[in-house]
Amino acid sequence: MRILSILYLLLGMLACNPSISKEYLINAGQLENMMKDTPGMQLVDLRTPGELQRTGRINGAINIDFEGDNFESQLSQIDPKKPTIIYCKAGNRSAQAFPIMQQAGFKQLYMYPGGIDEWKSKGKPTVK
């Protein structure tokens, strides 16, 4: 029941954010395929370093802490011209970061709203 409540909350947050078109929302299978098939794909984990230490990250992801004081300056670590997938714990921070990153010039930006919680629940691998 708790998972269902969280899912409804997440869907409600996404529905309230009109700046994220459904075409930019991807699922776990699409994330895997894009990472494998798209040259130069960048995967960005928006969680805090402490969260990464506790739960790991998706292989290949770089960490840019959305809640950190220097989020926007950290965006210079990644190329806005390359395809980029963002994710967090369960979609909230990604939904907030998406329009900021679009304004920063990221044109091929995708969001994995299920986040690391969904990734792990599907038995997908993580690295520390």
pLDDT tens digits along 48-90? 999 999 999 999 999 999 999 999 999 999 999 999 999 999 9
pLDDT score recorded for residue 20: 77
Class of domain 2-121 as given by CATH: alpha beta
Q: Which residues of 100-124 are buried (b: 16+ CB within 10 A; e: fewer)?
A: ebeeeebeebbbbbbbbbbbeeeee
Q: What is the pTM of this model?
A: 0.83
pLDDT score recorded for residue 6: 44
Q: With beta carbons less than 8 A apart as the criterion, state whether 41 and 34 touch.
A: yes
The pLDDT tens digits of the residues spanning 84-111 come to 999 999 999 999 999 999 999 999 999 9
CA distance linking residue 44 with residue 24, whole number of Å: 15
pLDDT score recorded for residue 109: 98
